């Protein structure tokens, strides 16, 4: 793991301790744990034949939609089941919600169509978590 990967992982880790939407927090942790972090996740989409889809999320244009089945294909059923268990929902609901959340998260973490500089990742992640907070879950 390179220095930039280490910095990215530390930034995401500190962000995910903050609260907000639990599935978003778990998704950010999952991205952190991917080999290569966000870049590794994007590469995984390319490896699974969905490079055009994830490229639309990274680019500055319209985000193409992803289905719950495609989420299962890329992330794997085990990873989806683990995410679901951590937030107390069924894997089917998790896949459905991830299909809505993941394009937005990748889009927000890749401003200007580029992978983030590690120094900016913590601030971007904090802002992202705040944008997904549900009423009544924020700090008092």
Domain containing 97 — which CATH number?
A: 1.10.10.690
Asked if residue 136 is part of any domain, the answer here is no
pLDDT at 136 over 60: no
pLDDT at position 91 is: 95
**Averaged pLDDT score across all residues of the chain:** 78
- The CA-atom distances, in angstroms, between 121 and each of 33, 110, 125 are 15, 9, 6
Residue 57: which of 115, 98, 114, 106 has the closest Cα?
A: 106
Higher pLDDT, 112 or 20: 112
pTM: 0.71
pLDDT at 123 over 60: no
Asked if residue 126 is part of any domain, the answer here is yes
Domain extent for 59:
3-131
Furthest CA-CA distance within the chain: 44
Rounded to the nearest 10 degrees, the angle between the axes of helix 91-109 and helix 51-58 is 50
Asked if residue 119 is part of any domain, the answer here is yes
């Amino acid at each position: 793991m390179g220095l930039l990967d280490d910095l990215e992982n530390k930034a995401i880790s500190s962000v995910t301790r903050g609260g907000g939407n639990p599935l978003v927090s778990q998704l950010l942790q999952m991205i952190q744990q991917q080999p290569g972090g966000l870049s590794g996740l994007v590469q995984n989409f390319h490896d699974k034949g969905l490079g055009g889809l994830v490229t639309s999320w990274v680019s500055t244009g319209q985000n193409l939609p992803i289905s719950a089945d495609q989420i299962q294909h890329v992330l794997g059923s085990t990873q989806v089941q683990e995410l679901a268990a951590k937030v107390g929902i069924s894997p089917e609901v998790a896949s459905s919600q991830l299909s809505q959340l993941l394009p937005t998260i990748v889009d927000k973490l890749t401003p200007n169509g580029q992978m983030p500089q590690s120094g900016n990742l913590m601030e971007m992640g904090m802002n992202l978590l705040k944008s997904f907070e549900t009423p009544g879950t924020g700090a008092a």
